[in-house]
Structure 1
Amino acid sequence: METIIKGVLAESTLQDKVKSTFIAQLLKQTAGQSKADAAVLLDLALELKLSHCPSRRILGKIPQRLARVHNILNGNTLTDDEKQEIERDMEILRHFGERKCISADEPLDYAIQCLLVLMYNSLPETRPLAMASYIEFLVEHLAVMPIPTSSSLETVSLMTKSAINLLEQCWSSGPDNVFMTIPQLFLRLSDDQRECSLGVGYLLQAIPDIHTSVVDPFVQNLDVTVLWRLEFTVQRLINWLVTTDMTGIGAWIVAIMESLASRGEFVLLRKMADENAYKIARQLAFRSRRHDAFRVLKFLLTGYHHSPVLFHNISKDLVPLLVSCRKSPDDRAFATEVSNLAQTLVIHFGDSDDVGARVQKARIFLDLPTVTRAEALQTMQDYSWKRGLQMQGEYSNHTLEKDMSIDYSDRPNMLRIGTTAGSRRKPAFVQPLGKVGLVNLGNSCFMNSALRALYCSSDLRRAVLVDTLGIDPKKTMTLRLRETFIGLSTSRLSIFTPLMLYKALPEWLNDGHQQDAAEFTQYDSNLLEETRMEDEDPASKRALSSFQGAMVNQIKCSVCGAVSSNKEEFYHLTIPLPKSESADIQDVVDIFPSIEDLNDENSNKYFCDGCGALQNAKRFTMLGSLPQNLILSLNRFEFDVKRSQRIKISTPVLLREVIHMKVQDSHETQGYQLYAVVIHTGESAHHGHYYTYARDDDTLAAGTQGSDPATSTAWLLYNDTSITVSSFEAMQQKLANSRSDTPYMLFLRRMDTALTQKKSKTDLSKMTVSSL
């Protein structure tokens, strides 16, 4: 005690009043007590912390003086009798720490934690017996490590090393203690309400890579509702990887991601990859970070097989990196790894923007080994995110549909794909005709079905894939649409997850509820139209021009005979549906041209500018021009006034592979060939499911060149990830057998042959405004 008092009196930075207060409390607290000096100091520190007295500044000085104090307590300058007295006090110190610090309800001040850590390092006998609580305390101490200043750097570094040393001693005393440490680490790393210092990162550095095997059982036992915490954990670790020179972080990032992959959390992994791949790739240029960065980057690029976008986005930075790696054997070994990865991805995804040629040029320049196609395919299989999902037997579309279950948590924008417990998957499977399925993100079938039909529109597909390479990066929706089309056009893939496109939609379309496929299509068209109008974007112009038609409305006043006319452009045409037992699609589209009476009976009298009053009139609606690609939306949903709710019109419609449309001032009709149908299944306007029938492109091209479309059977049924070969007849049969499965949107292409001679049931030649 005398040593402590002398140390306080000698402290030149403290005022005499503070020294006096500190010593007075010290003497008062120790009067009549037989406690070791360290216990007294602990008790006093807690008392000062809780009472907020002026002597609180002492706490800042305690960690700086503890090393000297504990050297004395540890016996460096003590007699044998004094050493024996300290040994008797060990149990007192241990009980004190367990009672007031380790089991404290409130977080301890960092200075008090430092006192305990130094005591536990200097006096092993004082360490708590409750190992779990002891480990939790040490992890928490590292997590709250303050950002060191120039004056506190030495102290903070000493405390961090001391705490890690204590944990390493725990691990060496029993392997189970590692299992207790890692959950505590992840709980702290995943806490988005509190800061987590680099001290935890330094602790991860200290854990041997072999112990990353503990991560998987920990992750597998997590409930699906808390998986978002792992995303936060990975993001925190990635931020450390790209901003510090801390080594060993990559092994833990990959370990967590591998466990997520084994749970089938591919949507979550793809989100992480999209947000982080580029900045991780940039770390390859830093010698201290490149091995961790490469480990993570390889996992991201070789694990997700369904899109080349990630690789193409960073490929331009890989070649300069290769050329610069020629200074040492370590550089050459690293260059070989990067070269092998680049060659593998070029083989798997195909060459784009001459990436393959530049990679080979750099490989030859550095005299690096060549990756064969067999080696590349084996690597992609070995590193596939699906490799942990092994499945007994053949992998079928039916099994895929069964195994993939959707969990839509309450956490915003957090979409997950899980797998049925116990199911296992092969690394890959092949869809019919090399097609690519779309993952349902949870009530996103409205988007998947419309996307599939739009992708089958060759003019739009070409414009999006080819012409939009130079679009403004700010146009997120257009970029995501292109990314999705790239995924769908990569035939070696089996499924594609359109998560980023879904997230780019406005909130009213991606709120997790069932939405309208026609509204999605209309939104897409409007967005491309805005892009065209704002920037005169040629890509958007080309994409839209093939869908652009015009509607002409003419109104003739029944009193003065004046005619008003207006022209409206459209990108998809909505047609009313009769409420009847059945309808023929040709009869449905034959409403054009149409006549409507505007009068009192219909409560829609027309205000005539010539008469200056409301008058009876007739409205004549006709098609002014028809596009190359025609989208027809059957108006299946309407508002029922009596029931005050939106209802579905379930009238069955007989489809035809060729229909005829009447154009204004033409006595003949234009033939259109059906190439995609979006089906809505369900009795309600608020619930149900969407899927799409579409003709194969090759067959459709043959059909437009004069073959009889009725003889074609190459139709495919696209139901999210499930793709099956079908036929037009099979589609007709299914629709005939089910009242709830109803055609909703029809996608048609104008036939390149001469105008057909088929006449509408109405005498079209006589129906002009002059005849009204």
Structure 2
Amino acid sequence: MAVKHKVVESRENDGLNLIIRALQDINIKTGMHAAELGKLYERVVLKLGEIEIPTAPEDYKKFMNDIEQVQEMFTKACSKEELFSATLKALYNGISDLERRPSPTMSIVLQLIDYKKIPFAVQWILQNRYSEQSLERALLTLCNWLSKWMYTPNLGPLVLCFMQGLEAKQHDDILIEVARVYIEKLFKLVVLESIRGSVGPVVLYILERMQHNPEAFHKILPHINSILNSLYKQRSDSSQYYLHKFVNLFMALMEHFPGHPGLYDDLNETLEQYHPEKNYKEILNCKSWLDINNCTLTIRSSSGKVGLNNLGNTCYMNSVLQALYMTKLFRNSVLQSSRDTMPLFSKLQALFALLQFSQRCSLSPNDILNLARPPGFQPGHQHDSSEFLGYLLDILHEQEHSIYSSSIGNSIVNIGSSSGMSSDSTVVQGSFGGRILTVSRCDVCGLQSERTDSFRELQLSFPNNCMDPSVQTLLNYYLQPERLCGDNQYHCDTCKRLTDGERVSRIVEKPRRLILTLKHFRYDPVSQQRTKLLQRVKLD
């Protein structure tokens, strides 16, 4: 295993050597156009994201020397504005790519940005109208680097400035998601003197802004005592500064999030030892994410509900999302679930949280549209809401079923087989799933066959010559016996041929919440087209 480990790390250093040689070749060549040079540097930046950091001491030392050489060559080459812009664009494309997980070595490109120009770099990113999904991936990547890499001084300031820029653009949902993922890792790094000045401001910023929900604060609770103790023992100016800031902030947060009996007892006792200031509450006198008083958008309506913005004839999607949100059983199951490895599920969870707690007048569900647009649904066109609902629920069910099955399979040790996932194990099936029994009978021999299927909706047709039917009338029509004759004969296994018969359906396990789809279209043999039925349906 030691030999294999050595070979892998040698290959990583070889990759860095190739980058150095490529940069040297670029510097030797003359007469290259700026556009051609820009493309070469873009490829070099993306290649840096593939270089893993070695762990063996001798390889690591050489790796850092090579990194410094690459950094110097980049700084010299990118003094020209056009190369600088191309390099930064490649950096953003790398950190925002949903398919890649670039290595922190790519972060050395950040050293091209003068500290004072970081706000302009962030402004450039936000003005390019990148999608919310792209912005979130970029910030997640930067925070991941910040939690692992301490040799890019500009990284922490860039993360902080990026967060502030997203806050100004009302991307609170992105900030909350990133804070939830990384606050614990970043907080534990505050004990390191070498990166405290880079990580500390980010940690303080997150904890001060997360005033709408105690999740970030509660994530770091188990580590607070040891972190404060380490800061106290270091006795440096920076350690004492952050000790002072944290003590006051934690006192304020404990009072800001009451209603947790016994949870703060040990922390309160610890903080009193460090003598918090009398005016510690003032530390939370700042803008809070999802705070109505600082929201530049129109506040929510008098009804207390948050709307969804139309993204171009997306009424079909918005109506489905609002209906699902108002289905309390499904909404609570989504919000309480921990299936955070599924992109669509996580985005729906974030949207439901914002619909419940946001003070905005409306939200834009771009990410849901990007992840759950059914095949054939053209942007800007009108589409069927029931078709979108079925596709959305299918994806949610299949993704959760797949994740659950994989985790169950991986946890089985020395067992010959597993029972698999039950029908109501997913959030979708547990909320909307039922079972229906279909009995088919042959008129010739009397043989009956039975089949039980799962369902998540009932598609109700309209009887002929029935004006303004009730829901119960349509349900009765759906469940009435169906004659199997003519072109729709029944194949009898006993008679071994097509025979006349009868089919009856009966719900044997009702869903906790029933989805009914009204089939408002019927084929007109005269015009040979689908015609819309304009009948009303009464609720009885």
TM-score bracket relative to the smaller structure: 0.5 to 0.7
Residue 17 of structure 2 corresponds to none
Partner of 1:453: 323
Q: In the alignment, which of 559, 564, 573 is matched to residue 458 of structure 2?
A: 573
Contact 1:219 1:259 in 2 (8 A): no
Measured in 1, the distance between the counterparts of 2:225 and 2:528 equals 64
Unmatched runs of 5 consecutive residues or more in structure 2: 1-19, 54-58, 96-101, 406-417
**Structure 1: runs of 5 or more not aligned:** 1-58, 64-96, 111-135, 171-176, 396-428, 660-772
Q: How far did residue 572 of structure 1 move?
A: 2.8
Q: Retained in 2: the 8 A contact 1:596–1:618?
A: yes
Identical aligned pairs, as a percentage?
19
Question: What is the CA-CA distance between 1:447 and the residue it aligns to?
Answer: 5.2
Distance, in Å, in 1 between the alignment partners of 2:498 and 2:325 is 47
CA RMSD of aligned residues (A): 5.8
1:544-599 Cα shifts (integer Å, max 9, x gaps): 55645443333332223333344434333222245889633333233153122211
- Please give the residue correspondences for 1:367-446 in structure 2 after superposition, counting only pairs within 5 Å: 367-369=275-277, 376=284, 378-381=285-288, 390=296, 395=298, 429-432=299-302, 434-437=304-307, 446=316
State whether residues 459 and 543 of structure 1, in contact with CA within 8 Å, keep that contact through their aligned partners in structure 2: no
Quote the residue 1:598 is aligned against.
484
1:597/1:619 contact within 8 Å kept: yes
The structure in which a higher percent of residues are helix is 2
- State the match for 1:558 in structure 2: 443
Write out aligned runs for 1:245-394 (5 A). Answer: 245-264=151-170, 277=183, 279-300=185-206, 316-318=222-224, 320-327=226-233, 328=235, 330-342=238-250, 359-369=267-277, 376=284, 378-381=285-288, 390=296
Kept after mapping to 1: 8 A contact 2:374/2:391 = no
1:186 — aligned with what? Answer: 88
Deviation at 1:269, TM superposition (A): 5.5
SS of structure 1 residue aligned to 2:488 = coil
User: Take 1:620 and 1:318, find their aligned partners in 2: how far apart are those partners?
Assistant: 64
Contact 1:182 1:214 in 2 (8 A): no
Whether the 8 Å contact between 1:582 and 1:651 is mirrored in structure 2 is: no
Alignment-derived partner of residue 150 in structure 2: 244
Larger Rg, first or second structure (1 or 2): 1
Structure 1 equivalent of residue 534 of structure 2: 651
**TM-score, normalising length from structure 2?**
0.63
Equivalent residue letter for 2:157: A
Specify the code of the residue in structure 2 equivalent to 1:653: R
C-alpha distance in 1 between matches for 2:424 and 2:219: 21
Which of 379, 386, 389 lines up with 1:517 in the alignment?
Answer: 389
Q: Secondary structure at the match of 1:654?
A: coil
* Aligned pair partner of 2:474 in 588, 607, 618: 588
Q: Residue 559 and residue 153 in structure 1: after superposition, are their counterparts in 2 closer, same or farther (change >3 A)?
A: closer
Q: Is the 8 A contact 2:524 2:531 kept in 1?
A: no
Letter in 1 for 2:458: L
- Cα displacement string for residues 695-721 of structure 1 (whole angstroms, at most 9, x for unaligned residues): xxxxxxxxxxxxxxxxxxxxxxxxxxx
Q: Provide the secondary structure at the position in 2 that maps to 1:611.
A: coil
Aligned-residue offset at 1:629? 2.9
Write the distance in 1 (CA, Å) between the matches of 2:225 and 2:524. 63
C-alpha contact 2:191 2:231 (8 A) present in aligned 1: no
- Compared CA separation, residues 248 and 538, structure 1 to 2 (3 A): same
Residue 635 in structure 1 maps to residue 519 in structure 2: yes
- Asked if 1:621 is matched to 2:505, the reply is yes
Task: After TM superposition, give the deviation of residue 632 of structure 1 in Å.
Answer: 1.5
Pairing of 1:168-247 with structure 2 (within 5 A): 186-187=88-89, 189-190=91-92, 192=94, 200-204=109-113, 207-209=114-116, 211-215=117-121, 218=124, 222-224=127-129, 238=143, 240-242=145-147, 243-247=149-153
Contact 2:438–2:503 (8 Å) recurs in 1 = yes
Work out whether residues 549 and 626 of structure 1, in 8 Å CA contact, stay in contact via their aligned partners in 2. yes
Equivalent residues of 1:247, 1:292 under 8 A apart: yes
Q: For 2:354 and 2:340, how far apart are their aligned partners in 1?
A: 19
- Once the two structures are superposed, residues 402-430 of structure 1 have per-residue CA deviations (whole angstroms, 9 ceiling, x without a partner) of xxxxxxxxxxxxxxxxxxxxxxxxxxx34
Letter in 2 for 1:634: L
Between the aligned partners of 1:256 and 1:438, the Cα distance in structure 2 is: 26
| Secondary structure in structure 1 of the residue aligned to 2:243 | helix
Q: Specify whether residues 371 and 562 from structure 1 end up closer, same or farther in structure 2 by C-alpha distance, changes over 3 A only.
A: farther
**Aligned match of 2:16:** none
Q: C-alpha deviations, 1:186-220, integer Å up to 9, x for none?
A: 3464464999866544454xx454x5454466456
Give 2:286's aligned amino acid: T
TM-score (norm 1): 0.47
Q: SS of 1:591's equivalent?
A: helix
Structure with higher strand content: 1
Change (3 A) 1:371 1:545: farther
Per-residue CA deviations over 1:108-139 (Å, capped at 9, x if unaligned) read 9x9xxxxxxxxxxxxxxxxxxxxxxxxx9xxx
Offset, 1:444: 6.6
Q: Find the residue that maps to 1:583 and give its secondary structure.
A: coil
Asked if structure 1 preserves the Cα contact closer than 8 Å seen for 2:209 and 2:286, the reply is: no
Q: Distance in 2 between matches of 1:631 and 1:608?
A: 33
Cα distance in structure 2, aligned partners of 1:440 and 1:359:
47
Q: Is the 8 A contact 2:172 2:290 kept in 1?
A: no
Mapped contact 2:439–2:450 kept (Cα < 8 A):
yes
Distance 1:343 1:508 in 2: 52
SS of corresponding position for 2:287:
helix
SS in 1 for 2:286: helix
- Is the contact between residue 189 and residue 233 of structure 1 (CA under 8 Å) also seen in structure 2? no
In 2, the alpha carbon distance for the partners of 1:384 and 1:549 equals 38
Most deviating of 586-595 and 354-363: 354-363
Question: Secondary structure of 1:584's match?
Answer: coil
1:609 aligns with 2:493: yes
Aligned mates of 1:299, 1:486 — CA distance in 2: 21
Secondary structure of the 2:232 match is coil
- Distance in 2 separating the partners of 1:483 and 1:519: 20
Equivalences, count: 476
